[in-house]
Structure 1
């Protein structure tokens, strides 16, 4: 038969801290173990050695960050190498991952080594307080912060401080360099298309995308929508998809009296208007046409263009009208272009004139 003897247990006292095990507490508070100084606490040479080790880690981090940036210049984007035991990998991706990993690891390892060898490691108990702090507690926290900052050696150990700041300042540059992955700078590549080679003296014929044959003016029926490409652009060409993304053309025939924009009328031929097929919102191909209203609709986000009024935007998120191509006919009556679009095709970009 068992008996509860907790009420008869004597109170236990802790010799070092005076903690008392009251009724219901089986053990006394053992308190904190006695602080044991580290070697760096009693040997200044060991402290200096630890300081150099931490600084070296921060310097390696800086060098790795510089290596990360240099990798973008040194390694081709399409180069594949064999690395044991990983296998075949992109040399650029491997170099970027390795250098960035070393840069971040050395910062973390340096901070941990600093904290374990040079910063104060005294453990101090703190009583719990209400969430709202009084003036005395706030003053105590500020004082503890100042004490911790002083004991960390951040202000006194200049080599540590400077190398840490240097490594932390260089690492964000890796993120800036990563913007290159958005693609090469457009320069003038987006400002010109395959129609750019056309001149009044050497025009380029308009080729039907379906039949792959040049078109005559009488082939364009009023109310229809026809797609065209420049003569010489073949579908089996290596860069066909790149070129057609800029050169794609759509032709409509509108009664001349229904064309509201004088400039569009002048760029066209007998009511035949040639507009870029690439939507000026995000570059989707426009493929829907309403012959009664002369509206062209982009199926992606419903941007709507009035082809009878300079292809201006009348609905949707597109930012500007569709560029128009100046066309005429040659001696055989085939439709030809005599120049490039009147403005860059496709969505807006930083270097775009407007």
Structure 2
């Protein structure tokens, strides 16, 4: 929509640029060329095309409705479950149905505006900030005319599809919120993991206990507590207890006095959960001893207490105190001495 000054001639004054001359004749005014000729759409000329466009818009709204209903059904019928397969299935169906719910509304609104609503250029003269009563009345009439022009009053099916799509879509937001009411919000569970004194370190995912002799300098192992599969909710417990085990030359280690006995002959174990937002930290650079989080590039120095050397993380990775048992297997001395993962309100540090 364009707007012009309250000048009946709509002329625009053109001033000669300072220090610039063309042929000595500079026009003082030129006439507003106006709008380009209006191009009629197919729906404007052919009633069949108009009806076809309306059906297309209704179809898009229907897709949105089906997407919303699928989301609601899938939320209850396909819970995440306890395995990666069920989690993947649930997330896939919920994500696709939500995408169709949103895509249907958005594309329907665009197609409706482009094919069925008035597309002529509109002009409005500038007025004082407060319009006169006559102009206000005219504005109301213009709104009524716009509603009539959109055809919503006489397109009953389209109006019903629009109302249904907009009314149902909020369910995709409300259902997950309502479904979480009564869930377990005991955040104290994040302060402890399955690691405890004498728990053997086992290779993920096989669960085979690992000996110190198996860990050579420069090697990296992803480690879980032995017997993880025998506990309730193993995936939840693994998400908290997963550890990265690395062996360095003991001469390269910089250890605090109170942590010198937390490693074993250069073998150190740190939580694999980034202290930024909880992504899995798993990219180890052997030459620099740096551990990189692939999500936001937080970088930790394994040789120096897993301190942050780059990125948004603010805390080092928690270290798991380890030693060996009588058979040479690596074992935990205790649980982590601090909560793993990102910060939360109830943390003391």
Q: Could you tell me the TM-score, scaled by structure 1's length?
A: 0.47
Q: Could you tell me the TM-score, scaled by structure 2's length?
A: 0.48
Q: Give the number of the structure whose alpha-carbon radius of gyration is greater.
A: 1
